[in-house]
Amino acid sequence: MHSIVADLETASTAELVEAVAAIATHLAHRPAPDSGATCMELAEDLARAFDQGESALAAMIATVDRTGEMKHWGFPSTQAWLRCRLGMREGRAKERITLARQLPRLERVSKDLATGDLSLGYAATVADAVQRLNDEDCAAAEDILLNAANDGLSAGKVARLGRKIHDLVAEQNGTEKAPEDVKRGYERSWLTLSRSLDGGSYVNGWLNPEDTAILDGVLGPLTKPAGADDRRDLGERTAAALTTVLSQGHKDTRVTVIANLETLMGEDVPGWLRDGTPIPAGQVRRLALTAGVSPLLLGPGNVPLYLGHTTRIATPGQRRVLETQYDTCAVRGCEVPGFLCEVDHVDGWALGNSPTDINKLALCCGWHNRWKHTHPDQINISKNQAGQYVYQTLPPDGTTRSRRGRWPTGQTPDPGDSDNPWNDHHLAA
């Protein structure tokens, strides 16, 4: 018989979470009462308590999301963390993230969810409806949607009302403002789609110089007028070019990155594109690993030494073999499809001393490929029974996991050890 003693006023957040977890464990093993009426009443009380717990969970997710803590553990996004570590489905993870980000702007929703006066379903519906609204429109939409909920509309009908508000405002405003700071690095490229009432979409975004060069290389040749009778403006031709690319009606396009030999050997010397756009040294080395990019190597005095080809990095045949071996990114838990991944040198790539052999290559998504080479001490590499490489992200040095698979500080799990509880949970997730 276990007892739980906690002073609710003075207990820490960690102690309260431990108490809730212990109670949930025992409750899960209790048989339900035989009385249907009793179960109905208890189920309503329990659901209300779970919704209040979602309020606390949202605050914790918001902190992880704001601080970027998940990236220290090898997860590219908050959503990836929720899916891999907490086993959430994609839809549920997106719902929790939206709620976490919007609750600080929803005073009434936040208060009612915490007190148990509003269900998670309604709270998530309101959060989803206001996520693209400014603060003034957000407050107005919150009042409209909560009044509708109080008038007895179901969560589904409130959701439809929220979508109408969302679409009307999106159609009225058109697009968001592009970021003022254009020097935020590779990871700050972004693109959003917002649906209009007629089924179309508004496309809005910003790309850094590297991504812009790739986009120009692909779309540029396709945006030229088709002839003297082509009356389309540039915007219309660009949309048609994008549609052509998405339907795969185009040929491969290459981007040339010029770099000094010292850059590929590890020096902090930037490279540049053919139009003079500078590329940080770290990105140059990453691009050198990516099929479809030709690096122009220059020696002293900018004398060309070697003009690489995609076959120097990974042949099309090698990539086809890898795509049959890897359905997804080699990082355990990452679900990016293999055909969208980059070819990764398992032991790292250095000029002249690392062969591009098929038994030394794996498929790795772009984010994890960069993360792997910048956090080599947090990657454990092994092979499974099928001969495929498996990358497992490890915690930062000196940091332990949570109760779900905690191991002592300084020790790391063996991904091939089926008795390791963390591996069991990770595989199940």
Of 330, 340, 316, residue with least CA distance to 384: 330
**Domain ranges, ordered by start, for the chain:** 31-173, 186-246, 254-313
Q: 103-112, 115-124, 179-188, 330-339: which has the minimum mean pLDDT?
A: 179-188
Mean pLDDT of 18-47: 92
Average pLDDT score over the chain:
76
Give the confidence band of 274 by pLDDT, cuts at 50, 70, 90: low
Between residues 59 and 299, the one the model is more confident about = 59
Of 123, 98, 97, residue with least CA distance to 108: 123
Model-level pTM?
0.60
CB 113 within 8 A of CB 100: no
CA 275, 277, 278, 279: dihedral to nearest 10 degrees? Answer: -90
Give the confidence band of 270 by pLDDT, cuts at 50, 70, 90: confident
- Quick count: other Cβ atoms within 10 Å of Cβ 307? 11
Q: Cα angle vertex 403, ends 401, 404, to 5°?
A: 80
Give the confidence band of 290 by pLDDT, cuts at 50, 70, 90: low
pLDDT of residue 324: 77
Q: 131-135, 181-185, 334-338, 340-344: which has the minimum mean pLDDT?
A: 181-185
Task: Label residue 30 exposed, middle or buried (CB < 10 Å: 0-12, 13-18, 19+).
Answer: exposed
Helix (H, G, I), strand (E, B) or coil at 256: strand
Task: Read off the pLDDT of residues 366-398 as tens digits, 9 standing for 90 and up.
Answer: 888 888 888 888 989 999 888 889 999 888 875
Alpha helices (H) in 227-365, listed in sequence order: 234-246, 261-264, 281-287, 310-313, 316-325
Q: Cα angle vertex 256, ends 251, 261, to 5°?
A: 145
Of 379, 310, 373, residue with least CA distance to 345: 373
